[in-house]
Amino acid sequence: MAVTASVCRLYGLTIESPFPLPGSVAVAHPGEAPDVTIHWEPESAWRIASLALTEPDAEGLRPRVGETAEGALCVEWRREVQFVFPPENDRIIVVCSRSQLTYVPAAVIGVGMGLLLHRRGLLCLHGAALHIHGRTIALLGESGAGKSTTSAALITPSGRERCGQVHHLRRPHHPWRHPAVRRPRGAAAAGWRVRRGAG
């Protein structure tokens, strides 16, 4: 995969990335600085996490999470791929071999952007979402529960599936809301439940 910088829109942000991001919309003439920059560096740039926050599981599926002496958060999988989040939360540094770049973009828009948005104070949810008749519907649940299958089955000619499996909600004043939704029903009550920790 070629490493060529491009600018796109995803999750309501302008992102400069060295590789195409699935589901993003290209920005032909970016007139402003990006909200997020994604950098790629080869394995020789691997960061050492001096403070371990979690350890991987025996199968190596769960990542190791740690922090560098400079305060950057590191998420790494089997010494093959590492995401580094500097304290400024304005970029994601992807450290891996060039051969890993075939699947890294999908991980960046899922785990990478989910963590970055969370570190910026946004509520991130794992789920499928679709946009029908001016409303966004989110399907949340455990992995393998059928969220993507259900959303694909609900798509009609007047609807479209939203990209990715991580969706964030902004809280501009009172209710939590998805940026694509103007006036969600029950948002004030749902926001109250989220703030109070109720289900």
Residues 8-37 pLDDT 10s: 988 888 999 999 998 888 887 777 789 999
- Angstrom distance (rounded) from CA 45 to CA 138: 38
Q: What is the pLDDT of residue 180?
A: 43
User: Where exactly are the structural domains of the chain?
Assistant: 6-119, 124-196
- Angstrom distance (rounded) from CA 25 to CA 56: 34
Query: Helix or strand or coil: residue 162?
Result: coil
Residues 109-123 pLDDT 10s: 888 998 898 888 887
Low-confidence ranges of the chain (pLDDT < 50): 159, 161-164, 174-199
Query: Helix or strand or coil: residue 165?
Result: coil
- Angstrom distance (rounded) from CA 130 to CA 153: 11
Would you say 66 and 55 are in contact if contact means Cβ atoms under 8 Å apart?
no
